[in-house]
Structure formats: C-alpha cells, structure tokens
C-alpha cells in the first residue's frame, strides 16, 4: 500500500469513526444538546479512484514475523506492516464480517495468488473469497487485516481497538492482554 493511500485511509478511519467496527449502532457524540458544533475547515481532498476501493491485492503476499518491542513476535506483511485479526470473525469459517466502512478502516490483506509463510510463521496460511471477489489471506483460519492508521513498519495503532482488533502471533492467535475474553459475535457491530 503506498504512503498516500495509507494516509488517506488513516483519515477515513478517524473521520468515519471506528464505532462502525467496534461498538454498536447508536454511538453518539457526547456534546451537550445546546452546544453548537464548531464548523470544521471545508478543504476537500482531491478525489482519486483509489479513495473508495480496498488496497490492490498483492500477487503472492509473504506473511512474515517481526519482533515488536512491546508485543513480541507479530505477523506482518512483505513491507513490515502489522497484521490484525478481528474477533467478531469466526475462526476457520472462510469469511469476513468486516466490509464497507469497516473495511475502509481495516483493509483486508488480499492476494491474487497463494500467500507464502516467511521464516517463523507457524500458522497455516489460507485464502477465501470475499463478497467483492478478492482473495483474503487467513492465518490459522483468522482473516488478516491492516489498520489504516498504521503508516510505518512497527506501527501497532490498531492493537486492542474496541477490544476486538488484535495483533497476531506467528501461530495465528490474538495478542490479547491476560484476562480479556473474546466477545461473542453479534450482528450489531456496524
């Protein structure tokens, strides 16, 4: 993913709100009912064809292991960008519940050929077809995603978002803090 694409997707993630992939419907601002909103600047970015599409699929992505100073060994892509799993997906189901605005904030790792496991990756890598027709990569049955606000290798800004987005270990498990339970999937996460 090129830097301008990551920057744009990061802005989308913030402006659209992460509630679409973390909380539930009805998430409202906490402004007082009598306060007038402050007008925001009206600068409009140049539209690009990429602005509403998911990242271009890689030919054959290599899922690798990188050592993060806080989280230890994590899965990353060819460029060293952190990969995440979404606990509202169902492991091994071969599908993703993250689409639309959710996929704008959490772009799936997609390929056109079979992915390759780099040194240290012990999770079985597989692919499945998304509703869009793209092939998404899964590790140990968990669909893999980027976080749009991660811009550089080593960024882990998506870790723990909404208590449902987690970095992934080399064996394909979520890096959750001890005592955290995996929530039961519901249809009301958008």
What is the mean pLDDT of the segment spanning 150-179?
A: 95
Average pLDDT, the chain: 76
pLDDT per position as a tens digit, 65-74? 999 999 999 9
Q: Which residue has the tokens 């893999």?
A: 144
Name the percent of the chain lying above pLDDT 90: 60
Q: pLDDT tens digits, residue range 20-56?
A: 455 443 333 334 344 444 444 444 333 333 333 445 5
* Mean predicted confidence (pLDDT) in 6-24: 44
Q: Per-domain residue ranges for the chain?
A: 3-23+54-167
Tokens read off for 161:
């978002």
**What is the sign, positive or negative, of the torsion defined by CA atoms of 6, 11, 12, 18?**
positive
Question: Which helix (H) or strand (E) is 63 found in, with range?
Answer: strand 62-68
**pLDDT exceeds 80 at position 76:** yes
Dihedral class, residue 140 (left if φ above 0, else alpha if ψ from -120 to 50, else beta): left
Percent of the chain with pLDDT over 70: 62
Q: What is the DSSP secondary-structure string of 66-100?
A: EEETTTEEEEE-TT--B-EEETTS-TTSS--S--T
User: With 90 as the cut, is the pLDDT of residue 90 above it?
Assistant: yes
Query: What is the rounded CA–CA span in Å between residue 172 and residue 169?
Result: 5
User: What are the start-end ranges of the H helices in the chain?
Assistant: 3-16, 19-22, 101-105
Q: What is the pLDDT of residue 55?
A: 56
Question: Residue with structure tokens 């830097």?
Answer: 3
pLDDT class of 61 with cuts at 50, 70, 90: confident
pLDDT of res. 163: 96
pLDDT at residue number 143: 98
The pLDDT assigned to 117 comes to 96
Tell me, what's the pLDDT at 14? Answer: 40
Tokens read off for 115:
């992915």
Span 112-134, average pLDDT: 95
Nearest-angstrom CA–CA distance, 70 and 66: 12
Contact 118, 128 (CB under 8 A): no
Phi, psi for 47 (deg, rounded to 5): -70, 145
pLDDT exceeds 60 at position 179: no
Residue pLDDT, tens place only, 134-153: 999 999 999 999 999 999 99
Q: What is the pLDDT of residue 62?
A: 86
């Amino acid at each position: 993913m090129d830097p301008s694409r990551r920057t744009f997707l990061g802005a989308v993630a913030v402006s659209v709100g992460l509630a679409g992939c973390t909380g539930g419907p009805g998430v409202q601002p906490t402004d007082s009912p009598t306060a007038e909103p402050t007008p925001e600047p009206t600068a409009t970015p140049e539209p690009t064809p990429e602005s509403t599409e998911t990242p271009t699929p890689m030919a054959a992505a290599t899922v690798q292991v990188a050592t993060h100073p806080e989280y230890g060994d994590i899965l990353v892509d060819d460029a060293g960008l952190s990969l995440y799993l979404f606990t509202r997906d169902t492991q091994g189901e071969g599908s993703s519940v993250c689409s639309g605005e959710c996929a704008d904030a959490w772009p799936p790792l997609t390929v056109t050929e079979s992915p390759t496991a780099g040194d240290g990756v012990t999770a079985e890598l597989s692919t499945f077809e998304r509703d869009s027709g793209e092939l998404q990569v899964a590790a140990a049955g968990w669909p893999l995603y980027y976080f749009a606000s991660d811009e550089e290798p080593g960024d882990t800004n998506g870790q723990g978002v909404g208590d449902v987005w987690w970095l992934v270990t080399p064996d394909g498990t979520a890096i959750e803090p001890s005592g955290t339970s995996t929530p039961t999937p519901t249809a009301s996460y958008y």
